[in-house]
Structure 1
């Protein structure tokens, strides 16, 4: 969809915060991004054949998912060559191993993109739903990579596919409150550590969707005395490039669908198991308009002012429902669909894989507006408005 963005000087300026009545803080800006996956990619048909799945209904779910491949770490094989069963303890150990490996690589690529080093990180936030660690991923990652011990940190655990934007809201606030300093947000999901194999249609749907991946972005805000207006100039971080400013966030909890997406204990399998209600794509689609319109109304914008849409790659039906209800085109959601095709559903970090693809496409112009959208358990829709 071709849209015309409202010039930055033609809309009301975002509300400014004036600490101590002296300076005006500017919104945080994304200054770098990086992604990582596990080492092995599998096609959907290949996975079906590897696990010897012949049930026509299950095969149909996999082969009609709009997913061509996913990066996964499969269970070890037993003496007969069959894939063994991984108890919950082994899955948690797998999560830790994969999360730290992917997470470290994503953070380093993000910093390289921003022209920064590990020593430049002042705040680290790690998001995951596919495993539980105490201390969290942030502490283990700091020890593994050598991030400064004085770096402040936060872990967001268990919120699901929407959690990346929940965390981005908090990290952007931290960066805005600490101008000139660097905050890094890491979404890392080892979905290979969250699978159940029981032959049911419930788990077949889940098992056809998710893949392993990590995505990191770096944020910073201009100091109050930085030269130039809030909407111009580069962040005062050496080597950083001008990415989009985060102008606002809007959330919507569909409490009537609180059980539609959940990750809870399965007594029969002695593991945690994920559940997706078949109707959830339509529930999300039906509620997308109100939260997006509320997000845009805060800046005096309409949907036609938005040039770039980066939506969570939740699944083919989810993407179609959002597209139809928001009046978008397939081109608008090309990166969302492309990430689903090439990686599957990456949970909390999916929208950042789309963001990275948009940046690499080099079609964004100064002044363009974009909307980020994620959805997940709650059921929840999270949105953010950005401007380049």
Structure 2
């Protein structure tokens, strides 16, 4: 009896010790989102269907086949005509950009969205402890992070990080950097600023693998306010549960499938390989191998393993009875992601990207709707596109306390990054970038204006097109 009492007391002491250790050390390692602000450029930067035609006509190095290829790419992209471009392209100076154009594009975003987010949460710039800025294709000196520190007069001891070359997966990498700092320092605020520089990166040549990026990318940006302060827990919108990063840069083909380079005439552009979908699929598969055991309930993992085992047994039995060459089963075992995730927030790289992820994860049109509508309204805004998708879910009042949101993104390198957020409270009231138009989405019929006006171009003479 005395032995049992000692075991009981020891167990209680052990549990108390671990609770106390968690309370003192680990509770400050949580990472919460207090808020985020997506950038909406002014209407004079809107890229209409007619204006897209104008831009195409400016590139005199394009031949008939290249014009057809570009128009077909725009027609098939899923992008609407309310997206935004940088001012130098709007003004017809895309082939001779200046350093001032690049800074101006960033300044509009910085001075609008950072100020809005801090004001909304009544936090002064001097309270920010960690700053992470991600813009892949613009790396001036001093850095963009320093530019923000200077503009908002942030503290001398702020930890500022400036990331470049991370591609469309940059925002989750930035969150990962901020999370790493928050794990080792108590009671901190972190600001993640993510965008892309379109102004200086217009390709003026005729290489098909490089002109495609001209028609896919649009202007945007997002600012995310993170904290590990326990006192702010009740105000938080989301809690970071898991973050997984996979990098295939050691593989030469993966490294070169999405790369900035010069064409045969020395013109700099962004090369997108035709094998990019294959490398993206491999990277996604490796990411999910790590992520799935973290996010799905045990019952779903057990069910999947049983199905895989039974399928293997059936194949082996059929092989012995009928001989070799009997082929594969008509239906492959499928993981049901909906058992552990309620919402799917994916990069809006294009209609094909959304369709591909939807097919691989066996998602419904309801699950894909936020990404499709974001692509139509804002286009591919690179690393910040995930947050426009999240904003759509919030504006539609889909996010309820306890729900879990999976973010998936791809980037040059080649990389696939993912993270899982838990919704901390019912998000029934919001004031974000979607509020002035959310009532119009999803439309009964998603009309593609490019199809209506230019869908016939790849079957007609280019001379007719240029005279429109």
- TM-score exceeds 0.5: yes
| Residues 45, 381 of structure 1: alpha-carbon distance in 2 compared, 3 angstrom cutoff | farther
**Alignment correspondent of 1:214:** 221
Larger deviation: 155-164 or 334-343? 334-343
**Alignment correspondent of 2:352:** 317
**Alignment correspondent of 1:13:** none
**Alignment correspondent of 2:181:** 174
1:245 and 2:249 correspond: no
Structure showing greater radius of gyration is: 2
1:268 counterpart (257, 265, 270): 265
Partner Cα distance (2:169, 2:358) in 1: 18
**Alignment correspondent of 2:361:** 326
**Alignment correspondent of 1:8:** none
Q: TM-score, normalised by structure 1?
A: 0.82
Describe the SS at the equivalent of 1:186: strand
**Alignment correspondent of 2:115:** 108
Deviation at 1:117, TM superposition (A): 3.0
Q: How many residues in Structure 1 have an aligned counterpart in Structure 2? A: 353
Partner Cα distance (1:321, 1:357) in 2: 21
Larger deviation: 287-296 or 252-261? 287-296
Note the residue ranges of structure 1 that are not aligned, 5 or more in a row. 1-15, 227-233
**Alignment correspondent of 2:26:** 24
Partner Cα distance (2:159, 2:276) in 1: 37
RMSD between aligned residues = 2.7
1:33 and 2:33 correspond: no
| Residues 281, 92 of structure 1: alpha-carbon distance in 2 compared, 3 angstrom cutoff | farther
Is the contact between residue 92 and residue 132 of structure 1 (CA under 8 Å) also seen in structure 2? no
| Residues 18, 315 of structure 1: alpha-carbon distance in 2 compared, 3 angstrom cutoff | farther
Pairing 1:170-209 to 2, within 5 Å after superposition:
170-209=177-216
Pairing 1:65-144 to 2, within 5 Å after superposition:
65-69=77-81, 70-75=83-88, 83-84=92-93, 86-87=95-96, 90-144=97-151
Deviations 1:249-284 (A, max 9, x none): 1122333411110123457345x3111112323432
Is the contact between residue 197 and residue 203 of structure 1 (CA under 8 Å) also seen in structure 2? no
Structure with the larger helix share: 2
Pairing 1:34-73 to 2, within 5 Å after superposition:
34-39=37-42, 40-52=45-57, 55-69=67-81, 70-73=83-86
Larger deviation: 371-380 or 301-310? 301-310
Is the contact between residue 194 and residue 221 of structure 2 (CA under 8 Å) also seen in structure 1? yes
Is the contact between residue 100 and residue 137 of structure 1 (CA under 8 Å) also seen in structure 2? no
Deviation at 1:71, TM superposition (A): 0.9
**Alignment correspondent of 2:292:** 296
**Alignment correspondent of 1:231:** none
**Alignment correspondent of 2:168:** 161
1:377 and 2:412 correspond: yes
Deviations 1:78-119 (A, max 9, x none): xxxx934644xx444322221122123222232244343323
Q: TM-score, normalised by structure 2?
A: 0.69
1:259 and 2:251 correspond: no
Note the residue ranges of structure 2 that are not aligned, 5 or more in a row. 1-17, 59-63, 301-336, 424-468
Structure with the larger strand share: 1
Is the contact between residue 189 and residue 227 of structure 2 (CA under 8 Å) also seen in structure 1? yes
Partner Cα distance (2:208, 2:133) in 1: 32
1:354 and 2:366 correspond: no
Is the contact between residue 118 and residue 147 of structure 1 (CA under 8 Å) also seen in structure 2? yes
Is the contact between residue 103 and residue 141 of structure 1 (CA under 8 Å) also seen in structure 2? yes
| Residues 285, 334 of structure 1: alpha-carbon distance in 2 compared, 3 angstrom cutoff | farther
**Alignment correspondent of 1:229:** none
| Residues 92, 331 of structure 1: alpha-carbon distance in 2 compared, 3 angstrom cutoff | farther
Is the contact between residue 289 and residue 325 of structure 1 (CA under 8 Å) also seen in structure 2? no
Describe the SS at the equivalent of 2:357: helix
